[in-house]
């Protein structure tokens, strides 16, 4: 059984920073890419950032470019998201996910999902 566990969420003031971590475990686990998604109350889940293991290429949604940074561990089963210059509109549950084949920007290509970690940014 494959599990993804996120950590690092919390409450922070606008302009502050957080670092999210996600660790995947399970003998059957493998992935071509890992990413972070978020879902705010009343809104659909959206991709935040993703990283392709084979090339190291990363993707960022426009609303986080220049503020968030995705990185991965050497074992390719850990992914991090550094969140800087946080805004109240970044408040959401952040989910880690792992996938294979297809575009790393496509939510349907992600097969493993974590339970999520809450990020709350106060103004």
Give the model confidence (pLDDT) of 11-43 as tens digits: 999 999 999 999 999 988 889 999 999 999 999
State residue 74's pLDDT score: 78
Measured distance CA(112)–CA(89) in Å, rounded: 26
For residue 69, which of 52, 55, 54, 81 has the smallest C-alpha distance? 81
| Tens digit of each residue's pLDDT (9 = 90 or more) over 59-84 | 999 999 999 999 998 788 999 999 99
Distances (CA, A) of 107 to 4, 47, 101, 111: 16, 7, 12, 9
Residue 10 CA to residue 92 CA, distance in Å, equals 10
| pLDDT recorded at residue 68 | 98
Reported as a single tens digit per residue, the pLDDT across 48-59 is 999 999 999 999
Binning pLDDT at 50, 70 and 90, where does residue 101 land? confident
- Over the chain, what is the mean pLDDT? 95
């Amino acid at each position: 059984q494959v599990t993804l566990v996120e950590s690092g969420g919390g409450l922070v003031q606008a302009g502050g920073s957080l670092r999210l971590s996600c660790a995947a475990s399970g003998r059957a686990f493998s992935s071509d890419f890992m990413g972070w998604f978020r879902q705010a109350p009343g809104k659909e889940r959206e991709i935040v950032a993703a990283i392709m293991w084979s090339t190291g290429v990363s993707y960022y949604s426009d609303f986080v470019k220049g503020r968030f940074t995705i990185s991965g561990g050497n074992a390719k089963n850990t992914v991090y998201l550094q969140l800087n210059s946080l805004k109240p509109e970044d408040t959401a549950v952040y989910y880690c996910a792992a996938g294979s084949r297809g575009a790393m920007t496509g939510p349907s290509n992600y097969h493993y999902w974590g339970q999520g970690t809450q990020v709350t940014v106060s103004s």
